[in-house]
């Protein structure tokens, strides 16, 4: 009887919750990661435009794709030593990654600060469930931090 009761308790016990743990977004950490990467990145501040309906469904899809590539556009400015002064209006590929049931996401028309990969004349912005190199609705502190990092000034990791 005790074994049967123990078995029932084990079966009925709640399963551990599955959760994705992400570090708090940090443009300084993003800058250091981009500098260390073999890819070439352009830092862009601008408005992201794309078809939200094409995003992977994540938690509502039993098996979301690991990667979804969508056509998108960023209109704004790119970073130079003098600040965000160079006009940037480009068609890009928005690469959305899923880690299991968790998928990156974005909102059409959102202002972003992003590290956009440049390769062979094409631009790709990758966003994962933790954000990746994309910072929606950047604060003035984030803008100031990335400019300092870019100029080689103080760029402390959080």
pLDDT one-digit tens code per residue, 115-128: 999 999 999 999 99
pTM of the entire predicted model: 0.82
CA-CA distance, 79 to 54, in Å (whole number)?
A: 29
CA-CA distance, 125 to 23, in Å (whole number)?
A: 19
User: Is domain 24-150 given the CATH code 2.40.50 in the classification?
Assistant: yes
1 pLDDT exceeds 60? no
């Amino acid at each position: 009887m005790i074994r049967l009761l123990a078995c029932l308790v084990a079966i009925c016990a709640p399963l551990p919750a599955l959760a994705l743990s992400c570090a708090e977004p940090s443009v300084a950490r993003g800058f250091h990661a981009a500098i260390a990467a073999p890819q070439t990145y352009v830092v862009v501040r601008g408005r992201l435009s794309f078809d939200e309906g094409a995003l992977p469904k994540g938690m509502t899809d039993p098996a979301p794709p690991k990667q979804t590539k969508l056509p998108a556009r960023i209109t704004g400015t790119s970073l130079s030593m003098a600040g965000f002064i160079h006009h940037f209006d480009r068609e890009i590929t928005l690469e959305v990654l899923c880690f299991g049931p968790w998928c990156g996401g974005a909102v059409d028309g959102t202002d972003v600060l992003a590290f956009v990969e440049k390769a062979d004349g094409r631009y790709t912005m990758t966003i994962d469930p933790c954000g990746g190199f994309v910072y929606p609705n950047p604060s003035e502190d984030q803008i100031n931090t990335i400019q300092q990092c870019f100029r080689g000034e103080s760029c402390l990791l959080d």
